[in-house]
Amino acid sequence: MPLIVNLRFIAQEPLALRGELPPADFDFGLKDEMVRVNSPITYDLAAEMLDDAILVQGSLRAPLECECVRCLKRFSRVLELAITLHLPLKGEEAVPLDNDNVDLTPFLREDMLLEFPQHPLCKPECGGLKKKAIKSGEKSEPKPDLWAELNKLKLK
């Protein structure tokens, strides 16, 4: 169920919103397999009416399940956001209304997506995948020197 605010309620006094929503309500549509949201997202927000806008302030907390881009190790990270939304009710950028109700979910979703890690690392000094050690009895083939082949060309 999306996070919906009724304008009539917040016109009288600010409204405190606390709870949690399943990740499916945010419809993240992540194609990146390195970051996933599988646990509920908790919110602690306050919504109030300004002259021709809604002001939403508070915090969001989303547990992320990530995979390190260097070593492919799975790890967890908690995304904590301080939220401040100014949602105009008139003009070109007016938020869509449905019977005096405003769905805050898409706006919160955008703020969260902007804070997702683009290249998640299990730790900053992660060395990546370890190379397999060559057994002492095995000989490795020498790699061909590609620059030597280019040096043979006579370019003028």
Q: Is the dihedral of CA 47, 9, 24, 90 positive or negative?
A: negative
Nearest to 105 by CA among 11, 10, 15, 24: 24
Domain layout of the chain by residue ranges: 4-129
Which positions of the chain have pLDDT values less than 50? none
Q: What is the pLDDT at residue 139?
A: 63
- Residue that has been written with the tokens 């449905």 in this structure: 98
Give the per-residue pLDDT at 31: 72
Nearest alpha-carbon partner for 23 in 43, 3, 39: 39
pLDDT of residue 127: 85
| Diameter over CA atoms, the chain | 83
99: left (phi over 0), alpha (psi -120 to 50) or beta: left
